[in-house]
Homo-oligomer: A and B are copies of this chain.
Amino acid sequence: MIVVLHSGTSATEVQSICERIRALGCSPLTVETSDRTVIHVEQIPGPEARESLKRLRSMSVVEQVIPLGKGFERIAETAKFDVGGIAFGGNSIVLMAGPCTVESEEQLFSAAESVSKAGAQVLRGGAYKPSTSPYSFHGLGVAALEMLRDAGKQFGLKVVSEVMDPRKVTLVAEHVDILQIGARNMQNYDLLREAGRSGMPVLLKRGMSARIEEWLLAAEYVATSGSEKIILCERGIRTFETATRNTLDISAVPVVKSQCNLPVIVDPSHATGRRDLIEPASKAAIACGADGLLIEVHPNPEEALKDGAQSLSSEEFADLVPRLQAVAEAVGRKIGVPNAVR
């Protein structure tokens, strides 16, 4: 941490800042340059002190506080992990697929069967759906959770589903293998903590205007609350471009990998909002190192209750997988094989 003072700061003021730094358990190293004093802060005892040091910029004599190093510790050390036998962050690429929203047993089981046959290892499906409008469909709730659990069992798929309310974490955790935290809730800290406390694997989507650093700090909330099995999911960020629903920040995949060990997957459906872009976006994701994909697949996207415009049909998904496999192999990896098939 470097604290740059304005030129003209008095010796007394410098002294007073140094005392605040020492009070936080750190050591100040004062450098007199030709036009100002700069303080290097040493021996920061932990991340709490690091956060407190940033507050020095409230002082009028402080021009800048420049943090060095990372603000997270736990996720930086996290090891590779598996979820019910499916390895994340290793050589294989995990396909997660299924409908945006669980609409009926028929729809879900049809989707589950087809994605399982096509090569997906994880079934996705919304039981509780966030919607911009209060007048939209909000999901079937617990009935959908039961269907997801049953469909997963029947077709040898692990199950991921979103939880939005900290009061429902336990309920959702009883039915699924991975808890999903959606983009709108990436900074819903009570939810992050509750999800962490469950000890369940957590799929954490990037907030639509979250910087990568903020996303990783959200993951740190989950990790410090009790779960270190965190799958990060890039799903597009909000920009000025209107040709796509969001802007897929594909570089986020290698950027995250340069910072921590957590697996990163990509959701091409939400990132683009367009069925015709799912294939190129999926290939790009695999080529640049993503550990998995989260794709919306619906038996009949034209009839979908939500987000049909960004869903593949079951046939389209099955057709796509071999082409994704080819790209995976080109970068020395392979699409994983469903449990039931092994």
The yes or no answer to A197 lying at the interface (CB within 8 A) is no
In Å, the complex CA distance between A225 and B6 comes to: 31
Of the listed stretches A26-34, A81-89, A91-99, A147-155, name the one at the interface; the rest are far from the partner chain: A26-34
Residues in B whose Cβ lies below 8 Å from that of A117: none
Of the listed stretches A105-113, A303-311, A334-342, name the one at the interface; the rest are far from the partner chain: A303-311
The yes or no answer to A76 lying at the interface (CB within 8 A) is no
* Interface residues on chain A, size class: 35 or more
Give A192's nearest chain B residue, CB to CB: B134
The yes or no answer to A287 lying at the interface (CB within 8 A) is yes
Q: Could you say how many copies of this chain the assembly holds?
A: 4
CB distance from A76 to the nearest CB of B (A): 13
In Å, the complex CA distance between A147 and B124 comes to: 46
Interface string of A161-172 (1 = CB under 8 A from B): 000111100000
Residues in B whose Cβ lies below 8 Å from that of A165: 166, 190
- Contact yes or no, A58 B287, CB < 8 A: no
The yes or no answer to A12 lying at the interface (CB within 8 A) is no
- Contact yes or no, B130 A189, CB < 8 A: yes
The yes or no answer to A331 lying at the interface (CB within 8 A) is yes
- Contact yes or no, B166 A167, CB < 8 A: yes
- Contact yes or no, B250 A276, CB < 8 A: no
Of B4, B55, B187, the residue contacting A306 (CB under 8 A) is B55
| 6 nearest A-B pairs in the assembled complex, by CB-CB distance | A58-B308, A209-B209, A287-B287, A280-B288, A330-B330, A47-B135
